[in-house]
Amino acid sequence: MASRPRGGPHNLGDPEDMSLRKVEKDVLIPKKMRELTRTEKCQMEVDQFNECAKINGLSSVLKCRPENALLKECLAKWYTDENFIEHCTQIYLKERSEYRRTGVSTNQGIRMGT
């Protein structure tokens, strides 16, 4: 099977192309959203749940329900926020463009959409 020409300075695709493939929309951008919600938007809820789970071990499934509920509520809020979705999409597109331009991924070990 012949590979299709991709273009761009490193044959990784056009750095200026802002179109998204299905896998980018359905997998890679939601992954970026999960990363940002857990590290920025819902940091306090994540920390509270992790602390509860660390203290309670296996019984955390039962004992950490309030913390888990707060975490899920926070995550759901951001996963449905159109502005946040657009923000994450723009971050992804910027990272992908830089990868296509330089051949160097800003996220080591993470496959970029090409």
Mean pLDDT of 33-60: 97
Q: Among 23, 19, 36, which residue's Cα sits nearest to residue 88?
A: 36
Mean pLDDT of 38-52: 98
Rounded Cα–Cα distance for residues 78 and 82 (Å)? 8
**Token pair for 31:** 């992954």
Would you kindly state where each structural domain of the chain is located, as residue ranges?
41-98
**Token pair for 7:** 């273009």
Summarised one tens digit per residue, pLDDT across range 53-63 is 999 999 999 99
pLDDT confidence of residue 113 = 52
Other CB atoms closer than 10 Å to residue 28's CB: what's the count? 21
Q: Terminus-to-terminus CA distance in the chain, angstroms?
A: 18
Residue 51 has pLDDT above 90, yes or no: yes
Under 8 Å between Cβ of 60 and 53: yes
At 99, the pLDDT band (50, 70, 90 cuts) reads confident
Summarised one tens digit per residue, pLDDT across range 64-84 is 999 999 999 999 999 999 999
pTM, full prediction: 0.76
